[in-house]
Amino acid sequence: MIASVNDNNHSDDGKPHHGVSTRAVEFAVAVFTFILGIVVIVDSRRVGAGWAEDGPQAGYFPYYIGIILCIASVWTIWRALFSAKDVAGVFVSHKKFRLVLSVFIPSMIYVVATYFIGIYVASALFIGAFMYWHGRFAWTRIIPISVIVPVVMFLLFEVWFLVPLPKGPLETLIGY
């Protein structure tokens, strides 16, 4: 399910033709929504998907939404697998996908780091890393900004609005 046309990875109109195909993405999303539909159906049956004396049970409407999800997913899977007409070529080129991953992977690391070292320290590291790798800023800009922004956010949320956010060992040292 990798699409490729010619040696320079572009067609005559300049669009890339090397990457993950739209057909593969449609198939994968349809399988995911089908599984989601099955989960909704099973859970709706667990809480009651029928009609009670006083009206519909808690799972009545979600049950039918799950059935609609499954039917639409089966239709999309069928179309993705057996459609005679090729579906729109490449969904995303490898180059563009690497750009997406260059933001997605550090963002996931940030989310996990927030759990272990708190949101403020993780934010300082995240901002600094992005300024260095994606912005190519000088350290004289990276260090102050990656420190000042989390400090301001700490003051805003923790001190002024009294909204507790995930804290790590550093915040524990200063008494929060």
The pLDDT averaged over each successive group of 10 residues in the chain (176 residues) is 44 60 91 98 94 92 97 95 74 89 96 94 96 95 97 94 91 82
What pLDDT sits at residue 2? 46
What pLDDT sits at residue 171? 83
Residues 6+ apart with CB under 8 A from 9: 16, 17, 18, 93
Opening angle at CA 140, ends 135 and 144, nearest 5: 90
- Separation of alpha carbons 97 and 171, rounded Å: 37
Write the CA distances from 9 to 19, 87, 92, 107, integer angstroms: 9, 18, 12, 30
What pLDDT sits at residue 7? 38
Reading the block at residue 156, the tokens are 């805003």
Cβ contacts of 113-117, under 8 Å, gap ≥ 24: 114/166, 115/166, 116/168, 117/168, 117/169, 117/170
Provide the angle, in degrees to the nearest 10, between the axes of the packed helices 60-82 and 22-47: 160
> SS in 3 state form for 10-66?
ECCCCCECCEEEHHHHHHHHHHHHHHHHHHHHHHHHHHCCCEECCEECCCHHHHHHH
Residues 6+ apart with CB under 8 A from 138: none
What pLDDT sits at residue 87? 61
What pLDDT sits at residue 144? 98
Domain boundaries, the chain: 2-92, 118-173
DSSP bridge pairs for 51: 56
- Separation of alpha carbons 26 and 3, rounded Å: 14
